[in-house]
Chain A
Amino acid sequence: MAVSMLIGLVFAGPFLYVLWRNITLGSDLWGELTSASTLRAMTRSVTLATAVSLSTAALGTALAWLTTRTDVPGRRLWRVLAPLPLVFPSFVGAAALLAAVAPGGLVEELLGPVGADRMPDLNGFDGAWLVLTLFTYPYVYLPVAARLTLLPSSLEESARLLGRGPWSVFRTIVLPQCQGAIWAGTLLVFLYTISDFGAVKLLRYNTLTTQIYANRLFDRSQSFALALILALLALGVVVAERVNARRAVRVEAIGAGRPHVVHLGRWRFVALVGLLAVLVGALIGPVATLLYWAVRGLTGAAGSTDLATVAAPTINTAVIGLITAVVAVIVVLPVAFLTTRYRSRTGGVANTFVVAGFAIPGLVVALALVFWVLNAPLLGSLYQTLPVLIFAYVVHFGAQSMRAAQVAVSGVPPRMGDAARMLGAGPLRRLSTVDLPLMAPGLVAGAGLVLLSTMKELPATLLLRPTNVDTLSTEIWNAAEDGFLTDMSVSALVLVALSGVLTWLLVMRRDPSR
């Protein structure tokens, strides 16, 4: 109880900071809330977030099912590749994809000879929706795939024996059991979309976030008023989702064994083409553009990029990302237990702040941390050290491990703990021998999300990192800032490759169905 209150308070830090700044700057909150431009920006944020949520829910679930439950060719490879689009800093991913498909871009150059000479305009709502869908579906994919890996296949097999077709089994048995994971992932997508800055800015779609950034220096009171509105919006959405989630079907994750595999028959290749199409847009396309920029620069006149300089940032990125992922899972686990197993009210409040915090832009989280660390007693000497940076990441990305942890906790049948207790196992022993092993795939999926998000995070990294500690994302920013596309591409490619390796280590190697 006390633990969850403490965790809730810590995660409420950015909210309290935004509230405090609204007071000290004398923001006209009501005026902002009712102004035409704010309403327009808010409508745009909500419309975009809703659209992206719907499409990622469908896409993420479909991909997760295809790669875990069917005999689609190459599924082991897809399982490593599918989460990777999440690793693109959104401005890099959007810029690369834009350059590829924009008028006069790579695709046009390649396809021009066969008649595709004018590509569609990717700007505004359509572009933002497409790009964000492609780069955020892993928020749904990872938890759903983790869920599917653990689902007992007995029900599906029974249904099949009773003569149900694959689609019917999917709809009536698989889908309801994944509902919790789908909701969890979709909520993250919604919160990510309303807080995203890089992609919407590049794609010229003005949202609340672009207004917060545009005014951050010159009209701080407006900027913080908008940030508060964004925070309230996020809190509202999280509360609404929790009320809804109470109705979700409770599913237990025992007797995992070997999951049921659906034989797609001649649909195998249709599925394969679909998978390829998504990955071309979300991963292969952007990577190809980055490669093109990198090779063009490295072989051209200005080929002065020193590849060795990427080594230290790569190690920093991996180490900091892994630590953050582990810490995030450990920190949110108590809240996940309280909300899921004990339905505690303070746990619910803590959960709301942890999850909604994800919608607060990284810059605001960073400034909040600066404020709290410098003004709290005893913490001052930690300013701009690694613990504070990791702490900021955990506050910013805790939501991602939270929902995965809740899904994992809810999958452990309480009667197994009861049985262990009757056999004389203490709480710690029960945790380590019963709960943790059963929750492992879910927890790892949550940790994976935190890892991928942390490695690309930019504003908080720039402001809070220990001086002279470079990461791949700071390298990417540095080069992009002044138009050094070659250097930017090299760092971004290393980031994608590093994520691929870490995803393989985390996801593939512990895959029970391989």
Chain B
Amino acid sequence: MRRTRLVALPLLALALVAAVPACTSDSERLTIYSGRSEDIIEPLLVEFAEETGIDIDVRYGDSADLALLINEEGDQSPADVFLSQSPGAVGFLDQQGALAPLDESILDLVDAENRASDGNWVGISGRVRVLVYNTDDVDPADLPDSVLDLTDPAFEGDVAVAPSNASFQDFVTAMRSELGDDVAEEWLTGMADNDAPVYANNTAIVEAVGRGEVPMGLVNHYYNVRAKEEDPSVPSENYTFPDGDIGSLLIVTAASVLETSDLPDEAAQLVEFLLSEDSQEFYSEETFEYPLAAGVEPADSLAPLDTLSVDTIDFDELGGGLERTRELIEDSGLED
């Protein structure tokens, strides 16, 4: 009895290994590396495959990890399309020369500030940076007009941040690009001096604010929307800084076509599909993000797009790019 089991397992292993078809070299299928998670993009990709008859393979993962993977794969990358959760990861691949330029006709679907200046990637949807706050602990009247005011001693220990999070880093990078390195450095140090509690990510902050552990936190807007959906009684609300303050920056998620793609036309077709009216409505209605094309309006619960700070970070013009942002964050002492 025991002997048969010991023998059976390796045999099972061999059978399974042999059964795996060698399908990776199949160039007829469009391969998508998606930093957007399955839950919030799969329905669109399936619809694309059904509409066009193009077979697709999707590899989901963390945007930064996938960008590293594509870079490591080099010429042999099976990827045709890279979808990134933030401009940082797609900007990295662009700097490595891994992206192919998109057609004007596709680029023009989106406003200039929501796409790469070199035309190598395009924004497909957007999240807004907000201040989430606990309504039991904070009077909305006391909320400041600008994110820069959060270094005020009045907010000592009250505002949670996630410095290792890509969105936070994109926000700091945008702050550098718009207001200069000095302002960004001063703000980061000010937040550190103010003992801003540090959390691992957006979800952790929103959970902590919801249970009253910390009164406020800087996050992307839709985490609280989702938390309220799972538990409507949670006393937390999003606050958007007014007048296009940098604290309410719109961060785009991006689509790009790989230089090494062997299906460039089909890849471009997918990017165009993601900017179509139907897809843009999906973002508005299902993921509570900001649609960036086709004149689709965001969900009613969100602040109108024209009241927000919208800015594409031009990594080439920005000294040191994200590496410098990381340095500033590290040097500020915020993570200690």
State the CA gap A348–B271 with chains docked (Å). 53
Q: Is the CB of B213 within 8 A of A370?
A: no
Q: Is the CB of A37 within 8 A of B58?
A: no
Q: Looking at the complex, which one of B10, B38, B68 makes contact with A216 (CB distance below 8 Å)?
A: B68
* CB < 8 Å A-B pair total: 167
Q: Which of B139-147, B243-251, B292-300, B323-331 contacts its partner?
A: B323-331
Q: Is the CB of A37 within 8 A of B16?
A: no
Task: Tell yes or no: B229 within 8 A of A by CB.
Answer: yes
* Nearest chain A residue, comparing its CB with the CB of B62: A462
Q: Is the CB of B60 within 8 A of A478?
A: yes
Tell me the B1-57 residues at the A interface (CB within 8 Å): 2-3, 6, 9-10, 12-13, 16-17, 20, 22-25, 31, 37-40, 57
Q: Is the CB of B223 within 8 A of A326?
A: no
Given A105-B211, A218-B326, A374-B74; 20 other pairs, CB 8 A cutoff: A102-B211, A217-B67, A218-B88, A220-B68, A293-B230, A297-B230, A302-B229, A323-B12, A330-B10, A367-B72, A381-B24, A383-B24, A385-B20, A386-B20, A462-B65, A466-B20, A479-B37, A479-B39, A481-B37, A483-B222
Q: Is the CB of B13 within 8 A of A296?
A: no
Q: Which residues of chain A are near B61, meaning CB under 8 Å?
A: 462-463
State the CA gap A161–B171 with chains docked (Å). 73
Q: Is the CB of B211 within 8 A of A463?
A: no
Nearest-Cβ distance from residue B166 to partner chain A, whole angstroms? 9
Q: Is the CB of B62 within 8 A of A386?
A: no
Q: A204-B200, A302-B229 are in contact. Are A487 and B39 (CB under 8 A)?
A: yes
Q: A326-B10, A483-B202 are in contact. Are A217 and B38 (CB under 8 A)?
A: no
Interface string of B63-78 (1 = CB under 8 A from A): 0111111001110101
Q: Looking at the complex, which one of A326, A387, A484 makes contact with B226 (CB distance below 8 Å)?
A: A484
State the CA gap A216–B202 with chains docked (Å). 20
Q: Looking at the complex, which one of A37, A104, A478 makes contact with B330 (CB distance below 8 Å)?
A: A37
State the CA gap A483–B61 with chains docked (Å). 15
State the CA gap A323–B10 with chains docked (Å). 7
Q: Which of A26-34, A207-215, A236-244 contacts its partner?
A: A207-215
Please report the total number of B residues contacting A with Cβ < 8 Å: 68
Nearest-Cβ distance from residue B90 to partner chain A, whole angstroms? 11
Task: Tell yes or no: B273 within 8 A of A by CB.
Answer: no
Q: Which residues of chain A are near B9, meaning CB under 8 Å?
A: 322-323, 326
State the CA gap A149–B202 with chains docked (Å). 46
Task: Tell yes or no: A194 within 8 A of B by CB.
Answer: no
Q: Is the CB of A301 within 8 A of B229?
A: yes
Interface string of B213-252 (1 = CB under 8 A from A): 1000000001100110111100000000000000000000
Task: Tell yes or no: B155 within 8 A of A by CB.
Answer: no
Q: A37-B330, A386-B16 are in contact. Are A482 and B40 (CB under 8 A)?
A: yes
Task: Tell yes or no: A13 within 8 A of B by CB.
Answer: no
Q: Which residues of chain B are near A323, meaning CB under 8 Å?
A: 9, 12-13, 16-17
Interface string of B180-208 (1 = CB under 8 A from A): 00000000000000000011101110111
State the CA gap A439–B230 with chains docked (Å). 50
Nearest-Cβ distance from residue B21 to partner chain A, whole angstroms? 8
| 20 residue pairs bridging A and B, Cβ less than 8 Å apart | A99-B211, A217-B68, A218-B92, A218-B323, A219-B323, A297-B230, A301-B232, A322-B9, A323-B12, A327-B10, A374-B73, A383-B24, A384-B78, A385-B20, A386-B16, A386-B17, A387-B20, A467-B23, A482-B40, A483-B203
Q: Is the CB of A216 within 8 A of B207?
A: no
State the CA gap A484–B2 with chains docked (Å). 43
Tell me the A466-506 residues at the B interface (CB within 8 Å): 466-468, 474, 477-487
Q: Is the CB of A370 within 8 A of B69?
A: yes
Task: Tell yes or no: A371 within 8 A of B by CB.
Answer: yes
Q: Which residues of chain A are near B62, meaning CB under 8 Å?
A: 459, 462, 481
Q: Which residues of chain B are near A383, meaning CB under 8 Å?
A: 24, 76, 78
A103, A217, A381, A440 interface centre (most CB from chain B within 10 Å): A217
Q: Is the CB of A385 within 8 A of B323?
A: no
Task: Tell yes or no: A201 within 8 A of B by CB.
Answer: yes
Q: Which residues of chain B are near A302, meaning CB under 8 Å?
A: 229-230
Q: Which residues of chain B are near A206, meaning CB under 8 Å?
A: 335-336
Q: A323-B9, A367-B68, A483-B226 are in contact. Are A381 and B22 (CB under 8 A)?
A: yes
The 8 closest A-B pairs by CB, nearest first: A104-B211, A218-B322, A462-B61, A323-B13, A467-B57, A104-B212, A202-B200, A218-B323
Q: Which residues of chain A are near B72, meaning CB under 8 Å?
A: 367, 370-371, 374
Q: Is the CB of B58 within 8 A of A468?
A: yes
Q: Is the CB of A478 within 8 A of B39?
A: yes
Task: Tell yes or no: A10 within 8 A of B by CB.
Answer: no
Q: Looking at the complex, which one of A98, A103, A217 makes contact with B89 (CB distance below 8 Å)?
A: A217
Tell me the A293-323 residues at the B interface (CB within 8 Å): 293, 296-297, 300-302, 319, 322-323
Task: Tell yes or no: A363 within 8 A of B by CB.
Answer: yes
State the CA gap A322–B16 with chains docked (Å). 12
Nearest-Cβ distance from residue B304 to partner chain A, whole angstroms? 24
Nearest-Cβ distance from residue B302 to partner chain A, whole angstroms? 16
Task: Tell yes or no: A150 within 8 A of B by CB.
Answer: no
Q: Which residues of chain B are near A301, meaning CB under 8 Å?
A: 229, 232
Q: A202-B200, A218-B88, A467-B58 are in contact. Are A459 and B65 (CB under 8 A)?
A: yes
State the CA gap A104–B235 with chains docked (Å). 12
Q: Which residues of chain B are near A371, meaning CB under 8 Å?
A: 72
Q: A370-B73, A487-B39 are in contact. Are A204 and B211 (CB under 8 A)?
A: no
State the CA gap A462–B335 with chains docked (Å). 27
